[in-house]
Amino acid sequence: MTDKPKFYITTAISYVNGAPHLGHAYEAISTDVIARYKRLDGYDVFFLTGTDEHGQKVESSARAQGMEPKAFCDMIAAQFEEMTRTLNISNDGFIRTTEPRHYASTRAIWQKLVDAGDIYLGSYAGWYSVRDEAYFSEDELVRDGDRWLTPGGAEVEWIEEPSYFFRLSAYTDRLIAHYEANPDFAAPPHRRNELMNFLRQGLKDLSVSRTSFRWGVPVPGDDEHIVYVWLDALTNYITAAGYPDEESEFYRRYWPADIHIVGKDIMRFHAIYWPAFLMSAGAPLPGQVFGHGFLTIEGQKMSKSLGNVVTPDAMRETYGLDQMRYFLMREVPYGNDGSVTPEAIVQRINSDLANDLGNLGQRVLTMIARNCGGRVPEPGGFTAEDEALFAAAEALPGETRRAMEDLAIHRMLEAIWRVVGDANRYVDAQAPWALRKTDPARMNTVLYVLADVIRQLAIFVQPVVPDAAGALLEQLAVPDEEGGGEGARDFAALPARLTPGTVLPAPWPVFPRFVAEDAA
Ligand code: MSP
């Protein structure tokens, strides 16, 4: 067993009522960047994603297609699993709530809540949104002509049925105390404040079973009821850690999760209901729930009726995978909402990737290939300018770590691109092409400094653009265990500098410019 600290991170599990869209891709990519960064920083990461397959919404989507729910789920879940591959997501596990292990875990959690005296039989009469799979009280709804909608614009239906309830009201004070003792439990801070306000109003008991349809996990001891889809879905995180086998090595190592990454729309479920369920079950709570923002398409909500739904495949095929990953991570401060426009994507590709980083690599590696016999050049003494550029690069472990402690992925990228800018200014100022005739020894030193700084930059951009970074490292002949490829990549274990004389492959460009006709 490794002596590295563990880090268990999850995405939300996606409903399989339809194919993956850009919002799902955004969550998968951003969580992947965090997971990859943590691996680079020496953690033993367990990264989980998966699909949420029960409930009324999925059942009715299946029926609308004339399919049995399970066959329908198999079909759509396969698309989500495929998305993790096409987007180069480095998840270690993929969970489906229709798996037997998850039924066992959900039923075990239910039994714990019963044993704690937190479940009682009653009946629910009220509004339900199938889209959100959530109950709404009248005062939460908004009027739209002659009908009522949720604040998020979803339709509601009136339901009346026998239901088991969870004594959520009994957890208000414990949750407030937990928030106060753990100020980062729910993040970013403005989301935490919203949740705190909600908690301070006092919680009502929660309906946790349904009887009017069948697609779900049967309630232990009362088959008429199926477990409310959110109680079922949230349990996925602990199922994947091996629950209910609390003695297993895996569970003891990985539970509780360190971070749940979810969209802002489902913070309440994760940062209020989930910790309350876990408190009742006597299981440790996750370290943090982070709510990221929503992506819009040119400022508009993505929706089937507007016909503006962007699929991850379409974006990847048009712009390239690393380009897409970079754009989504750089353009939108993580935690905020953000608008996706073709102009902004092209601008980021051509300026940050092609001009700034791509060109830096291409210029330097081509000069080395032509003027240094295709080997890492032998440096002479370093000048103040050389040392300043090294110092900027060598500050990256600290700077990126500070940004990532706040999950500020965009700030990590800003820090890296400041060094890209420094390196480009250094090339221009040192003009190695002019040194070729006048001072070849100095040219060697300058190209050595640049090659090594490119190596360091490539190591730090790996979490966001793994393919391109791997190509840069390959061109610098950096072996896997020193930061290239998929090998061990602990910052602390990185060798200080490139070895002069190392033979390099012929260089190739990693970030081509995006030319508009390409889109056609
Ligand atoms: N099944 C629930 C989550 C259960 S977790 C125990 C669910 N599924 S979902 O398919 O609707 O959404 C999956 C994730 O994608 C959620 O975190 C959601 O916030 C996120 N997004 C959905 N649309 C999005 C955007 N337009 N932009 C960014 N993220 C979005 O909720």
**Model confidence pLDDT, tens digit, residues 291-308:** 999 999 998 998 877 889
What number does the ligand 1 atom closest to the CA of 15 have? 10
Pocket test for ligand 1, best of 9, 13, 274 (most atoms within 8 A of CB): 13
- Which band of pLDDT confidence, cut at 50, 70 and 90, is reported for residue 485? low
Q: What average pLDDT does range 262-289 have in this prediction? A: 98
* CA 27–ligand 1 middle distance (angstroms): 8
Buried b (16+ CB within 10 A) or exposed e, 231-260: bbbbbbbbbbbbbbeeeeeebeebbbbbbb
pLDDT per residue over 39-82, tens digit each?
999 899 999 999 999 999 999 999 999 999 999 999 999 999 99
Ligand 1 centroid distance, CA of 263 (Å): 6
Longest dimension (CA), the chain: 89
Per the DSSP assignment, residues forming a β-bridge with 122 are 163
**What is residue 481's DSSP assignment?**
G
Pocket mutation for ligand 1, best pick of 24, 48, 53, 129 (most atoms within 8 Å of C-beta): 24
Q: How far is the CA of 284 from the centre of ligand 1 (A)?
A: 24
Decide: 443 and 436 in contact? Cβ < 8 Å.
Answer: yes
Instruction: Characterize 80-104 residue by residue with b for buried, 16 or more Cβ atoms within 10 angstroms of its Cβ, and e for exposed.
Output: bbebbeebbbbbeebbbbbbeebbe
pTM, to two decimals = 0.97
Full strand arrangement of the beta sheet holding 209-210: 209-210, 222-227, 218-219
Ligand 1: residue of 10, 26, 274 to mutate (most ligand atoms within 8 A of CB) is: 26
Across 455-493, b (16+ Cβ under 10 Å) vs e yields: bbbbbbbbbbbbebbbbbbbbbbbeeebbbbeeebebee
Of all protein residues, the one whose alpha carbon is nearest to atom 13 of ligand 1 is 14
pLDDT per residue as tens digits for the range 191-214:
999 999 999 999 999 999 999 999
Residue nearest to atom 7 of ligand 1 (CA): 14
Angle at which helix 409-430 crosses helix 396-405, to 10 degrees, equals 160
pLDDT band, residue 480 (cuts 50/70/90): confident
Residues near 208 by beta carbon (within 8 Å), at least 6 away in sequence = 113, 119, 163, 164, 165, 166, 227, 228, 231
Residue whose CA is closest, atom 8 of ligand 1? 14
Spell out which residues line ligand 1, taking CB within 6 angstroms.
12-15, 23-24, 26-27, 52, 233-234, 236, 262-263, 265-266, 294-295, 302
